[in-house]
Amino acid sequence: MRSLTPDQCRALQDWLGCLQRILQWEADHDFVNSRGRSGHFAEVLARGLAEAPLAPLRDDPTCGELRTGFSAYSTWPPRQRRHWVVRTRQWLHQQRLHIQGQPASPPPDQPPQGLQSPLTQVKGIGPRLAASLTDAGLRRMDDLLRHYPRDYIDYSRLLRIRGLRPGETVTVVGAVRRRHAFVSSRNPNLTVLELQLQDATGRLRVTRFYMGRRFTSPKWLQRQRRLFPPGATVAASGLVKAGPYGLSLQDPLLEVLNTGPVTPAASPSRRILPVYPPIEGVSAEGLRRAVQAVLPMACQQQDHLTAPWRQCFGVIPLAEAFRAIHQPPSPAALQAARHRLVFDEFLELQLRLLRRRQRQRVQAMADLTVAGASDLAAAFLALLPFQLTTAQERVLHQVRSDLQGTTPMGRLVQGDVGCGKTVVATIALLEVIAAGGQGALMAPTEVLAAQHYRKLCDWMVQLHVPVAMLTGSTPERQRQAVLRDLATGAVKLVVGTHALLEEPVMFLRLGLVVIDEQHRFGVHQRSRLLNKGEAPHLLTMTATPIPRTLALSIHGDLEVSQIDELPPGRQPVTTTILTPGEREQAYGAIRTAASRGERAYVILPLVDESDKLKLRSAVQEHQRLARTVFPHLHVALLHGRLTPGAKQEVLEAFVSGKAQVLVSTTVVEVGMDVPEATVMVVDHAERFGLAQLHQLRGRIGRGQAPSQCFLVSESRQAVARQRLEVLTRSQDGFEIAEMDLRFRGPGQVLGTRQSGLPDLALASLTSDGAVLEQARDAAKRLLNDDPQLHTVPQLRARLVAQSARQASASRLN
């Protein structure tokens, strides 16, 4: 392979690292050809190998052979699959070694220097250590500097073992007196690591549990014994528990500080000791020494924020922040360092989002003049049997102001189920149609799209506005007619699913795009629909409220409106937590509701039984309920594997009352509007997020009758119980979303694939909201004073580099 530029090296390293992570995931899951959002493992790997960033790799015979093998991977026995995964990992590792062994050829105008230099150029970091760090994604000095400590041990505040009290969360440092790693005799998949720690005041038993087959191998057990040799100094952080054999720490975080005794007196300059996230093959002390070797380089770098900007934003210099985050002289200095680095992460994120919005605003607007409240919108309001709420009026005013502006609207409307978002969106669509444009409403599922279409048909027929629906199951003849009418402008409003993104769909004059349940669509999908018009307006909606910190982090290029008021007359839903033995209480409520002509949902997490997850399934539960629990009621079954026609039959039976009980998966989470439904039972409720449970609960309580929601949970964990109790106390979707964020973290709340969740090394969306607000204000001020960021060239270069890396990663994904 010819000599590579630094950019080529980085792209190649990113590609290698991504494939190795996918292969590791498959190995961890016993070579079952795991399925993810991008397809099955073998499909993703074959696609990834075909998209190697360099032509010599794509043309390599071994690469071609591996790619071909993965096309048959699903038919192989586990042993052959394992062999192919190992062989692929070895080939990728050889490519990595080849890159590390050759000198990169920098472009003549930009030689690698400073923090962008590879770790192999740092004195004190040898080839072996550099290879281990590279495998963990730490390739340059800058990467290692930003591998921040996950915790700190303050020797001035350490508790002695004799002073521990049950119920406290503490960090203790002691010497390993004994250690024992073994596989449980009761559970062959459970491995136990027991340590006995000793300090000058006493001894403490520390126990860690590892669940999984890969932790039971003799090699792994031997590695644990080598990691904690007798005499090694270990820091253990966790909850103190009292037991029959004295105090202990259950499942704590463990950090080997030194393989031999160490005392605070021996290292007075390191009174506060950083504890880093562990890296395979690198000891804690070795990692600390590597960071110390790089720190002097940080002090030589020019800050990407000039002194006037630092003073304006109230942050310390970057070099000082790096020094204090890795070598904190005091808690106050550590806090100031963390604030600066968190501020930097949020600032770069907000600048990217605001610059994207800036680019959208300078696009040429479609030739549409929305003058204000049109006669068409007034006629629609006259059709409604109710008055708009104050919150709807407020948001509608914001939307109309955007539509009358000189730049394309970009707005996110949040609100609980039933708050009236669709009415506001319909008025916006009518304003654009009255101005001579077309509107498109995209929903994530056919069920939701069909519900929107039925509602809009009822209204639009009376207003003489042509409306059509386009989904994946639209018959071909009808599809061709819709495509023709959209292209000629005969259809003014189209409702659809992802089918609207397809190439044949063309508009004569697309003026407004409305996206419902926007969190289920990616940024690129949103852009594809917007690109079908000349800079059309964008209005996105969600009934799953997103906490403000998340909204600013992911949708910072959109203005955010909240409809925080429900229409009058809506009945609150009573929520009760039940154990599996108390299910009869829920069944009694269903029978009572059915006797009054009302209907009920029973929600389950799985369609079919699973060998790995011992959970009830929708198919199994439907049979049981229909035969033994509700033999005199019509029990219907709905899940995502049914054909569109079968789904429609089930929905019509439930809406009409022919079926009184609907057993379903989360396919009913959106798109179901049945006012007669008053009871919901969610089985294995601990498997769902709070926001999702709140969304499901929104399927009932849509009429005037009181409604009940039963959450059946067999989990004995205190945290699981606390999560569910939030729903029994609150009906506020925004409060529930905030609690969900705190319990589960942003990755699980949104889903890491489609959310576009920012990659934050130090900042926390759950606890750094104030810094995020400060960074957003700072980004706005920077762009107002210097739209091209000429006064902060290094910051501008970082943004360009990050955009390039993200573009490279998105191509592989």
DSSP result, 327-380: S-SSHHHHHHHHHHHHHHHHHHHHHHHHHHHHHHHTSPPPS----SS-HHHHHH
- Token pair, residue 135, equals 């495998």
pLDDT of 807 above 60: no
Tell me which residue has tokens 């409809």. 563
- Token pair, residue 580, equals 């599996």
- Token pair, residue 747, equals 């990755």
- Token pair, residue 74, equals 């699903």
Give the least confident one: 21-25, 213-217, 361-365.
361-365
Tell me which residue has tokens 């995502």. 640
pLDDT of 266 above 50: no
Helix ranges restricted to H, 505-600:
523-530, 548-554, 583-595
Average pLDDT over residues 729-756: 60
Average pLDDT over residues 806-813: 43
Collapsing DSSP states into helix, strand and coil, what is residue 676? coil
Which residues are CB-neighbours of 207 under 8 A, at least 6 positions away?
192, 193, 194, 195, 248, 249, 250, 251
Instruction: Please state, in angstroms and as integers, the Cα–Cα distance from residue 429 to each residue in 371, 373, 459, 515, 658, following that order.
Output: 14, 12, 12, 12, 35
Among 636, 743, 767, 731, smallest CA distance to 686 is for 743
pLDDT of 744 above 70: no
Amino acid at 554: I
Pairing of strands 253-258, 233-243: antiparallel
Give the least confident one: 37-46, 96-105, 177-186, 355-364.
96-105
pLDDT of 693 above 70: yes
Give the least confident one: 4-8, 570-574, 587-591, 700-704.
4-8
Angle made by CA atoms 762, 559, 381, in degrees to the nearest 5: 145
Which residues are CB-neighbours of 330 under 8 A, at least 6 positions away?
272
The residue count for the chain: 813
* Residue 631 confidence (pLDDT): 93
Average pLDDT over residues 173-193: 88
Give the least confident one: 335-349, 389-403, 419-433, 602-616.
602-616
End-to-end CA distance of the chain: 25
pLDDT of 63 above 60: yes
pLDDT digits (tens, 9 = 90+) for 786-800: 888 888 888 888 787
Rg, C-alpha atoms of the chain: 30
pTM of full prediction above 0.85: no
Query: Cα 176 to chain center, whole Å?
Result: 39
- Token pair, residue 175, equals 């010497």
Q: Which pLDDT band holds residue 661 (cuts at 50, 70, 90)? A: very high
- Token pair, residue 395, equals 């948001």
DSSP 554-621: HSTTSEEEEE--PPTTPPPEEEEEE-GGGHHHHHHHHHHHHHTT-EEEEE-SBSS--SSS---BHHHH
Helix (H) or strand (E) holding 439: strand 438-442
Query: Cα 66 to chain center, whole Å?
Result: 31
* Residue 633 confidence (pLDDT): 94
Task: Please state, in angstroms and rounded to a whole number, the distance separating the CA atoms of residues 621 and 627.
Answer: 10
DSSP 288-314: HHHHHHHHHHHHHSPPSS-HHHHHHHT
Q: What is the mean pLDDT of the chain?
A: 82
pLDDT of 102 above 60: no
pLDDT of 111 above 50: no
Q: What is the largest CA-CA distance in the chain?
A: 86
Collapsing DSSP states into helix, strand and coil, what is residue 796? helix
pLDDT digits (tens, 9 = 90+) for 210-223: 887 778 888 888 88
- Token pair, residue 664, equals 């379903």
* Residue 152 confidence (pLDDT): 82
pLDDT digits (tens, 9 = 90+) for 506-540: 999 899 999 987 666 766 677 788 888 888 899 99
Collapsing DSSP states into helix, strand and coil, what is residue 619? helix
Among 709, 385, 708, smallest CA distance to 569 is for 385
